[in-house]
Every structure is written in structure tokens, then in C-alpha cells.
């Protein structure tokens, strides 16, 4: 996986930075999906814990 | 913030509504959402293989977003309580408490927030940084295209500097995809639905106000 995109001038010479690599896009999407999954899981567990405590108290 | 009695009760409580977002702010939010979605579609669909004339759509919605953000900034500073969105030491502590409790470590409950809670403030700060980066780099990139208002002049910067500008634009745009996913997720969560409704209709109920907010920190 590349982090950046480079191109070579038609006249040759050094490669030049032309932007961020679009290969990173799926990783940004995966980061969002991972956050959502972890948050949803944490909230579901917290709710289950709260229900359990409520049952024990009541 | 004003409180207006309603004809129909929206909840099991007194039926009073607390105004949360003025019409102008809601219009701003949804126009910004449309501009952002058009920007993302015109940026990423061609990369994913959907070919169409994306450039005009992209720069025009980019300029619209820049204008909307400028209006929002001026309005927030001059006519709104911008301090409500400022992050303080308390917010860091409240966020840590929320994390600890969500992960089952227990500890003190987070205190009720003012109009915006700590997570919303940190999210706003992150999104503001990304949007400003994408707009600043995008406005510079306009120098490379012909529009009805100006002729292209790509010689303002060296090739290496253009490379950095494109990297900033690309990385900030991709990070905005992550942030947008998180935003939509929270907007759709049932426990946050009252906030989504307030962005559609402008108000929350008095019961929601007293359950979720500290009246001393957000006087409604």
C-alpha cells in the first residue's frame, strides 16, 4: 500500500509528489466502520450491565 | 434560547418545547450536508470507476461550502454563543468519564453538559480542522482550472508545493468520510434521535432538556 502518489515528468528527472494515495480510502472507511461497531458494542454492553444492576437492586 | 408552549404535547411531560436550532442554522446545516455529499460523490465516485464530468460539480459545490462555512463562522462569533462549543478542561474529564463507564470501568457519572457535550465539541473541532484544510487547499487548487470568473494560472507554486497542497486536500477529504460516517451513525442512534429531530424541527422537549442538559450551563 502506498501513502502518496508520485509522477515522473515527461522530460524525465525525479519523481514528483502529486497527492495522497487513493489506496488509503478503504482504510478511512474501515476506521469509521470500526468506530461505529466498537461504540455500538460498548453501548449495548453498558445497557445490559445497567439492566442487570436494576434487576439486582429491584 | 426561547421556550414556547406547544399546542400538541410531543412527550409524556408538560409538552413544552425548548428551541435548540434556529431556522437559519438548520438551513445552514442541511445546505452544508448537501454540498459535502456532492463534493464527496464528485471526488470519490470517479476514483471508484464511475466516470462523469465531475470537475464543475466539484469546484462549484466547494465554493458553496466555503461561503457557507464563512457565513457560519461570522454568525457563530457575532450572533451566537460561540463559547458553548469551546473545549475546556472539564470536557476532557467528562469524555474520560464517559469512556470509562462505557467500557465498564465504573467511576463517577459524567456531569450533564450545557448545550453541547464534550464528544460533540471534540467532533466539531476535528471536523472544523478538516473542513478548513480541505477548503484552504481547494481554494488554492482553483488556480489550476478555468472558470467563468478567472483564468487558470498553475505557476503560482512549484510542482513540489502543489504536491503538498494535493496531499492535504486528499487526506483531509478521506478523513471527512470517516467523520461523516460517525456523524450519520450518531444521528441515527435511537438515544440521539432527539438531537436529530432538533436539527429537523428546531426544538427538543422540556423533558429532554432537563434529562440531557445542565440548566445552569445552558439557560433555556
pLDDT tops 50 at residue B8: no
**CA-to-CA dists, residue A28 to B18, B35, B167, angstroms:** 37, 20, 15
Distance from CA of B159 to the nearest CA of A (A): 7
**B91-130 per-residue burial string, b: 16 or more CB within 10 A, e: under 16:** beebbebbeebeeeeeeeebebbbbbbbbbbebeeebeeb
Closest CA to B131 of B173, B99, B162: B173
Determine the pLDDT at residue B6. Answer: 40
What's the average model confidence in pLDDT over B10-30?
82
Q: Does B187 touch chain A (CB under 8 A)?
A: no
**Predicted model pTM:** 0.88
C-alpha–C-alpha distance, residues B212 and B113, integer Å:
7
Confidence at B103, pLDDT banded by 50, 70, 90: confident
Contact A43 B102 (CB under 8 A): yes
User: Which element (helix H / strand E) includes A8?
Assistant: strand A4-8
- Name which residue leads in pLDDT, B12 or B44: B44
Closest Cβ opposite residue A31 in set B44, B178, B191: B178
Three-state DSSP state, B3: strand
Q: Indicate the range of B23-27, B89-93, B198-202 predicted with least confidence.
A: B89-93
What is the grid cell recorded at B78? 457575532
**Long-range residue pairs from B204-207, CB within 8 A, at least 24 positions apart, any chain:** B204/B17, B204/B18, B204/B20, B205/B10, B205/B11, B205/B13, B205/B15, B205/B16, B205/B17, B205/B18, B206/B3, B206/B13, B206/B14, B206/B15, B206/B16, B206/B17, B206/B18, B207/B11, B207/B12, B207/B13, B207/B14
Nearest chain B alpha carbon to A43: B102
User: Which element (helix H / strand E) includes B41?
Assistant: helix B23-47
CB B17 within 8 A of CB B205: yes
Contact A17 B163 (CB under 8 A): yes
Q: Does B182 touch chain A (CB under 8 A)?
A: yes
Average pLDDT, chain B: 90
With beta carbons under 8 A apart, name residues in chain A contacting B102.
39, 42-43, 46
Confidence at B214, pLDDT banded by 50, 70, 90: very high
pLDDT tops 70 at residue B9: no
What's the average model confidence in pLDDT over B97-121?
88
Residues B153-208: tens digit of each pLDDT:
888 999 899 999 999 999 999 999 999 999 999 999 999 999 999 999 999 999 99
ipTM for this model = 0.89
Closest Cβ opposite residue B177 in set A4, A19, A28: A28
pLDDT tops 80 at residue B1: no
Q: Give the alpha-carbon dihedral of B55, B56, B61, B62, to 10 degrees.
A: 60
Q: Indicate the range of B1-10, B86-95, B184-193 predicted with least confidence.
A: B1-10
Determine the pLDDT at residue B3. Answer: 40
Determine the pLDDT at residue A56. Answer: 81
CB A5 within 8 A of CB A21: yes
Residues A4-54: tens digit of each pLDDT:
999 987 777 788 999 999 999 999 999 999 999 999 999 998 888 888 888
Closest CA to B110 of B87, B125, B89, B90: B90
Percent of chain B with pLDDT over 70: 93
Determine the pLDDT at residue A58. Answer: 65
Amino acid at each position: 500500500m502506498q501513502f502518496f502518489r508520485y509522477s515522473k515528468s515527461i522530460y524525465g528527472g525525479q519523481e514528483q509528489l502529486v497527492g495522497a494515495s487513493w489506496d488509503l480510502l478503504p482504510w478511512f472507511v474501515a476506521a469509521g466502520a470500526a468506530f461505529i461497531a466498537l461504540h455500538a458494542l460498548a453501548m449495548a454492553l453498558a445497557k445490559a450491565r445497567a439492566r442487570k444492576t436494576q434487576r439486582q437492586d429491584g | 434560547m426561547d421556550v414556547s408552549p406547544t399546542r400538541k404535547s410531543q412527550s409524556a411531560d408538560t409538552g413544552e418545547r425548548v428551541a435548540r436550532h434556529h431556522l437559519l442554522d438548520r438551513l445552514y446545516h442541511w445546505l452544508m450536508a448537501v454540498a459535502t455529499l456532492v463534493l464527496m460523490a464528485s471526488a470519490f465516485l470517479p476514483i471508484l470507476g464511475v466516470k462523469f464530468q465531475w470537475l464543475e460539480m466539484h469546484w462549484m459545490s466547494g465554493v458553496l461550502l466555503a461561503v457557507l462555512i464563512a457565513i457560519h463562522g461570522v454568525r457563530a462569533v457575532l450572533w451566537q454563543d460561540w463559547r458553548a462549543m469551546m473545549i475546556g478542561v472539564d470536557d476532557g474529564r467528562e469524555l474520560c468519564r464517559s469512556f470509562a463507564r462505557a467500557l465498564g470501568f465504573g467511576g463517577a457519572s459524567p456531569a450533564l453538559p450545557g448545550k453541547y457535550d464534550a464528544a460533540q465539541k471534540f467532533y466539531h473541532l476535528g471536523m472544523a480542522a478538516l473542513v478548513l484544510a480541505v477548503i484552504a487547499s481547494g481554494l488554492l487548487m482553483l488556480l489550476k482550472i478555468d472558470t467563468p470568473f478567472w483564468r487558470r494560472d498553475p505557476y503560482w507554486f512549484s510542482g513540489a508545493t502543489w504536491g503538498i497542497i494535493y496531499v492535504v486536500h486528499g487526506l483531509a477529504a478521506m478523513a471527512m468520510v470517516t467523520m461523516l460516517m460517525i456523524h450519520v451513525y450518531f444521528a441515527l442512534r435511537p438515544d440521539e434521535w432527539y438531537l436529530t429531530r432538533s436539527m429537523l424541527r428546531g426544538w427538543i422537549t422540556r423533558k429532554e432538556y432537563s434529562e440531557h442538559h445542565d440548566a445552569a450551563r445552558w439557560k433555556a
